[in-house]
Structure 1
C-alpha cells in the first residue's frame, strides 16, 4: 500500500497534514495524487475517450472553428480540464479538426473607381532632362 493510499484511508480519523508529517511526505504531493486519482476515475467513467476530448469537440464547435491549439487549452481549463498543447494538437489531428486561418490583410489605400475628375499630368509639358538633377 502506498503512503498516499494509507493517508486516504485514514483521513477520516486523523488530519491529513499530521499523517503526511508522520509518513514524511509533502501534503502537496498527497493533494496532487488525490487530484490525479480523481481525474483518472472520471476518465474511466466514459469508455473509449477521455472527458476532455468530448469537451474539446464542444468548445471547438462553440468557437466556430476559430480556436486553435493555443487558445483551446485556456478554454478547456475554464471547463475544468487541464491538458497540454501537444496532447491537444495530437487529439485534434486524430479527429481531423483544423482551425480556420484568417485571410491575409491587404490594405486598400487607393479607390480608383471614385468617379471624380483626375488631375492632369503636368510633367508631360516639361522638356526632357539632359543631365541628372538638372532641368
Structure 2
C-alpha cells in the first residue's frame, strides 16, 4: 500500500476517509482472497462426509482445520453451489429379535378363511403396561 511513502493518517485525511474505514477495507480484501480457499475446503468436507454434514457440523469441521467461519456463511456457500445435506432416515427399532435361521410365523387368519368382503374380519391388539412401585 501507500503507507511506506506517506502516513496513513495523512492519506485518509486527504481522501476524506476515516482510518477505521481504510483498515476495514484493507482487511476485507484479504478475507475475500481467502474466501475461495474456504469454499474449496468447505465443499471438500461436505463431499468427504457423503453429504451428511449440515451447517453446524461443517462449521465445527472447518474450526478443527483452523478456519473460523459462521453458520450463515456456510449456509450461503452451500446454497450458492446448490448443495444440501441429506436428511438421515429416522431410526425405527424392531420389536422382535428373531434368530436369522428361523422362519416367520404364518398368517393363520388369512390361511384358514380369507376375507370375502370389507368389514368381515376384525383384529385388535391388547397391550399391557407393567406397573411398578416407582410409577405409583
Normalised TM-score (structure 2):
0.48
Normalised TM-score (structure 1):
0.49
